[in-house]
């Protein structure tokens, strides 16, 4: 494990518990977002990684080595550090700022110059900026420099403490793209503290939700949207985002009907007809004894072949269209609708029949996605109108 | 005026040199002691308030009383005067150093530490350069005080331009009083102007131009 944090606790003098039994394993190249409200302990936890804060108990290991055994100064030179207020040195040029850590590591001047040029190219800023001072750059440009300053000495881990909190939304978005791209391209491991769920969902490969010093949930963005661990996480994500996310993350398995009429190929057509009649359906799915989907048979097939054939297996269609239960509705709904089938069989990964999707269920999904929000709006307008009516009534008196 | 200069010109030069010598050494010593002390105090906040109150207390002792107080300890002449003026020079420099260092944006100190600067590197490369203008204005303030009060040092036999002033007072000769006071004022203004230039030079550059 690249970075592991075990049973971390942080209690401030006076008994205030900032972090409680924090456990996390981070692989190399992961983009981990710590998210929570203020006072949730996310920044405190992050600052323990480069020993800006000392944990009360617990261990942090990088590449298996306990960081409390390392020289904190040397440790920090190996860990990139980006803070919300950017923290560029105002009395140093951009070049000096970028090469601050390399200089501490006593790199030769040529190597530092070459690195400064490469770094500024990395964030799409012109080379002339190297000799400017931070106050001559815009906030967004300054934070770009803040980001490469944390990369310039080949740091493998980058800690970022709400780095974009003070930037306007457009600048923030472009910097999010930049860091995501850099992270993927350079294979850096990033620990990113934020209180913005959109930011976490966009950037993270792993989200750590914290509240009052405790971990609420550790999961991928998809998982968190699909299965928020508790009410706190749900609230943090927000109802709007959950509703929006539903059509995109709902799987076929979640909307299918599970009670399916199926028949085995060895059954007689007579039995098939009886089954259709009993269940009031015009077609049946055919599965073998193990439940594996083989095909389908409908009433016309039985009608045409009743005299010549005897068993279901003789007349069934084998070219049955089906969908997998774990595929996303978003990806399948269009295909299903285009084909014009009434019912689509759903199979699991072993090709076993597990359910069907009816067109009625699909209509519900499409309806929710398109009109769900507007329904609510209509409701609130209704109440407004009635309230207005009541007002008028009052005036009349 | 010309008459005064022709009579006292040579002695005026000598006294002016003595004056510069006394104030220069006191201010130099004051700077050497107060700047590092002020920096050290920013690392131990609790001691800081104690030390600064002591320095403020010393500042309230009347200048003449302090000078007189030096005689039993160090005798008469330049030495006791330098010691007394040194004590006076401490507070403005100490306080400005302390304030200047504390006023450096905490995020910059955090960034410096977080990137792996040692405490010493953070002081030398970040905090002192950024606090330099405030520290310098403390030194300027002290310089003005010290030059003015050095005139009193003549009272305990230290020499300097104070000699003219005290002679003038004793003999009711206003030309001697002015002959001593005016050079003191000019000296104070001149030193303040020079140190102002130094302050500008030490103010860190934050733009290209």
Beta bridge partners of residue A209, listed in sequence order: A35, A217
Tokens standing for residue A7? 């049973």
B204–A91 C-beta distance less than 8 A: yes
Residue A270's Cβ-side half-sphere holds a number of Cα atoms within 13 Å equal to 3
B125 Cα to chain A: minimum distance (Å): 10
Cα separation, B111 vs A129, in Å, equals 21
DSSP A33-69: EEE-STTSSHHHHHHHHTTSS--SEEEEEETTEEGGG
Angstrom distance (rounded) from CA A56 to CA A60? 12
Which residues have a Cβ under 8 Å from the Cβ of A250 and sit 6 or more positions away? A328, A329, A330, A365
Whole-angstrom distance, CA of residue A313 vs CA of residue B34 = 101
| pLDDT, tens only, A324-345 | 887 777 667 666 767 777 778 8
- Considering only alpha carbons, which residue of chain B is nearest residue A83? B111
Asked whether B143 and B195 are in contact (CB, 8 A), the reply is: yes
Low-confidence ranges of chain B (pLDDT < 70): 209
Indicate if the pLDDT at residue A369 is higher than 70: no
For domain B1-202, the CATH class is mainly alpha
3-state secondary structure of A319: coil
Mean pLDDT of A279-296: 85
Q: What are A388's two structure tokens?
A: 């207005």
How are strands ordered across the β-sheet holding A3-11? A17-26, A3-11, A57-62, A65-66
Q: What is the mean pLDDT of residues A348-360?
A: 83
Question: Reduced to 3 states, what is the DSSP secondary structure of residue A354?
Answer: strand
* DSSP reduced 3-state for B198: helix
Q: What is the CA radius of gyration of chain A?
A: 30
CB contact under 8 Å between A73 and B118, yes or no, is: yes
Nearest C-alpha of chain B: how many angstroms from A67? 14
* Angle subtended by helix axes B2-41 and B78-103, to nearest 10: 50
Does residue A103 have a pLDDT over 60?
A: yes
Nearest to A49 by CA among A20, A27, A88, A78: A78
Q: What separation, in Å, do the N-terminal and C-terminal C-alpha atoms of chain B show?
A: 47
Burial of A15 (0-12, 13-18, 19+ CB in 10 A): exposed
The pLDDT value recorded for residue A248 is 64
Q: Can you give the pLDDT at residue A107? A: 95
Average pLDDT over residues A382-386: 43
The CATH number that domain A3-247 falls under is 3.40.50.300
pLDDT classification of A20: cutoffs 50, 70, 90: very high
Closest chain B residue to A53 measured between Cα atoms? Answer: B114
Residues of B in contact with A134 (CB under 8 A): 206
Instruction: Give the domain ranges of chain B.
Output: 1-202
Q: Quick check: A52 and B208 CB within 8 A?
A: no
* CB of B121 less than 8 A from some CB of A: yes
Structure ipTM: 0.82
Give the whole-angstrom CA distance, residue A196 versus residue A198: 6
Give residue B87's Cα distance to chain centre: 9
pLDDT of A125 over the 70 cut: yes
CB contact under 8 A, A83 and B108: no
- Angstrom distance (rounded) from CA A269 to CA A296: 13
Residues of chain B in contact with residue A76, where contact means CB-CB under 8 angstroms, are 113-116
Tens digit of pLDDT for each residue in A62-77?
Answer: 999 999 999 999 999 9
The pTM score is: 0.71
pLDDT-derived band at A393 (thresholds 50, 70, 90) equals: very low
Locate the chain A residue with the closest alpha carbon to B202. Answer: A91
CATH of domain A252-396: 3.10.580.10
Q: Residue A251 gets which letter from DSSP?
A: B
Whether B208 and A136 lie within 8 Å, measured CB to CB: yes
The tens digit of pLDDT for each residue in A210-266 reads 999 999 999 999 888 888 889 999 888 887 777 666 666 677 777 788 878 788 888
- Angle among Cα A45, A49, A50 to the nearest 5 degrees reads 125
**Domain segments of chain A: what residues?**
3-247, 252-396
Q: What is the mean pLDDT of residues A120-148?
A: 92
Mean pLDDT of chain A: 84
pLDDT at A311 (0 to 100): 83
Task: Scan for tokens 């075990």, then name that residue.
Answer: A6
């Amino acid at each position: 494990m690249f970075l592991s944090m075990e049973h971390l606790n942080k209690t401030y003098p006076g008994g205030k518990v900032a972090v409680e039994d924090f456990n996390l394993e981070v692989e190399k190249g992961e983009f981990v977002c710590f998210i929570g409200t203020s006072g949730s302990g996310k920044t405190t936890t992050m600052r323990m990684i480069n020993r800006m804060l000392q944990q009360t108990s617990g261990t942090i290991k990088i590449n298996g080595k306990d960081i409390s055994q390392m020289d904190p100064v040397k440790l920090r030179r190996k860990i990139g550090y980006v803070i919300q207020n950017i923290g560029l040195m105002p009395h140093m040029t951009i070049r000096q700022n970028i090469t601050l850590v390399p200089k501490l590591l006593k790199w030769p001047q040529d190597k530092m110059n070459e690195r400064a040029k490469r770094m500024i190219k990395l964030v799409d800023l012109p080379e002339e900026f190297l000799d400017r001072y931070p106050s001559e750059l815009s906030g967004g440009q300054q934070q770009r420099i803040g980001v490469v300053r944390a990369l310039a000495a080949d740091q493998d881990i980058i800690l970022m403490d709400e780095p974009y909190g003070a930037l306007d939304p457009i600048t923030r978005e472009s910097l999010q793209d930049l860091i995501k791209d850099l992270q993927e391209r350079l294979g850096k491991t990033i620990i990113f503290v934020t209180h913005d769920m959109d930011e976490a969902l966009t950037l993270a490969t792993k989200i750590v939700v914290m509240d009052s010093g405790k971990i609420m949930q550790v999961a991928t963005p998809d998982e968190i949207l699909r299965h928020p661990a508790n009410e706190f996480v749900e609230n943090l994500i927000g109802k709007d985002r959950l509703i929006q996310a539903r059509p995109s993350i709902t799987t076929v398995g979640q909307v299918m009907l599970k009670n399916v009429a199926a028949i085995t190929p060895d059954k007689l057509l007579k039995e098939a007809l009886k089954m259709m009649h009993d269940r009031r359906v015009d077609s049946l799915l055919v599965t073998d004894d193990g439940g594996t989907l083989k095909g389908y048979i409908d009433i016309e097939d039985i009608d045409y072949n009743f005299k010549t054939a005897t068993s279901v297996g003789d007349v069934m269609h084998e070219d049955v269209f089906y969908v997998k239960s774990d595929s996303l509705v978003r990806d399948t709904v269009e295909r299903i609708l285009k084909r014009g089938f009434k019912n689509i069989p759903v199979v699991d990964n072993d090709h076993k029949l597990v359910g069907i999707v009816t067109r009625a269920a699909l209509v519900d999904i499409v309806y929710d996605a398109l009109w769900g929000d507007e329904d609510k709006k209509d409701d609130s307008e209704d109440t407004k109108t009635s309230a207005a009516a009541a007002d008028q009534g009052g005036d009349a008196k | 005026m010309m008459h005064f200069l022709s009579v006292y010109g040579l002695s005026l030069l000598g006294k002016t040199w003595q004056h510069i010598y006394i104030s220069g050494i006191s201010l130099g010593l004051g700077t050497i002691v107060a700047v590092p002390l002020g920096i050290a105090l920013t690392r131990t906040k609790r001691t800081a308030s104690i030390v600064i109150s002591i320095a403020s207390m010393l500042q309230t002792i009347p200048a003449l009383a302090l000078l007189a107080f030096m005689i039993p300890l160090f005798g008469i002449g330049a030495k006791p005067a330098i010691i007394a003026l040194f004590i006076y020079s401490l507070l403005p420099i100490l306080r400005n150093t302390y304030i200047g260092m504390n006023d450096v944006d905490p995020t910059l100190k955090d960034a410096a530490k977080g990137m792996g600067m040692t405490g010493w590197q953070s002081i030398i490369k970040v905090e002192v350069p950024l606090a330099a203008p405030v520290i310098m204005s403390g030194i300027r303030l002290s310089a003005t005080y010290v030059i003015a009060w050095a005139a009193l040092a003549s009272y305990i036999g230290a020499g300097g331009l104070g000699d003219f002033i005290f002679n003038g007072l004793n003999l009711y000769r206003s030309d001697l009083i002015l002959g001593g006071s005016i050079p003191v004022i000019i000296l104070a203004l001149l030193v303040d102007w020079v140190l102002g230039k130094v302050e500008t030079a030490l103010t860190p550059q934050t733009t290209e131009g």
